[in-house]
Amino acid sequence: MNNKQKKEKTMRKINKQKLQVVNTSESPVDFEEIERKKINQYARDLCKDLDEYLKEFRMSPGYFYYHILFHIKQAAIFNCNYGEYKHANDHSTDEISRNHSEMLVETFPELGLKKNKETDTVH
């Protein structure tokens, strides 16, 4: 059997199969954005539920969140590789601290807090 015949035989096999066109309108970046929005909404809803659950306790919010964060971080470190965990932990902490300090500067100007442009911190 020559190459042309082999190619024709292969094409006949492919044509007999029921092939479907894959929807290519969404790129992997679109999927990433969709999933990011979905997990962010889930996390917001979870936090609202935690805020409501916190009201049932007499303990301080700091102690309550210590336990929540401990178990979330423990699950994360055991379900990710260490590099992913370290990146997520460090960058989420930095982002939260930065957002909180910016909110303090904007919301409470009477505190006289100013953002240090060199270090990107509030003093």
**Secondary structure of 54-121 in the HEC alphabet?**
HCCCCCCHHHHHHHHHHHHHHHHHHHCCHHHHHHHHHHHHHHHHHHHHHHHHHHCHHHCCCEECCCCE
* Mean pLDDT over the full length of the chain: 85
Percent of the chain whose predicted confidence (pLDDT) is above 90: 61
User: 70 with 97, same domain?
Assistant: no
pLDDT at 95: 95
Q: Is residue 102 part of a domain?
A: yes
Both 75 and 106 in one domain: the answer is no
- Examine the domain organization and report whether 63 and 35 are in the same domain: yes
Indicate if 44 and 65 belong to the same structural domain: yes
pLDDT value for 9 = 65
- 62 pLDDT more than 90: yes
Has residue 122 been placed in a domain?
Answer: no
For residue 30, the model assigns a pLDDT of 81
Average pLDDT over every residue of 90-115? 91
pLDDT at 13: 60
| C-alpha to C-alpha distance for 54 and 107, rounded to whole angstroms | 25
Neighbours of 64 (CB within 10 A): 16
For residue range 82-99, list pLDDT tens digits in order: 999 999 999 999 999 999
Q: Which residue has the higher pLDDT, 81 or 9?
A: 81
Q: Quick one: 65 and 86 in the same domain?
A: no
* Per-residue model confidence (pLDDT) at position 53: 96
Compute the distance between CA of residue 96 and CA of residue 89 in angstroms, rounded to an integer. 11
- pLDDT, residue 114, reads 81
Q: Give pLDDT tens digits for 21-56.
A: 555 565 667 888 899 999 999 999 999 999 999 999
The domain total for the chain is 2
- Enclosing domain of residue 86: 81-114
The token pair that represents 70 in the structure block: 């401990």
- Per-residue pLDDT, 36: 92
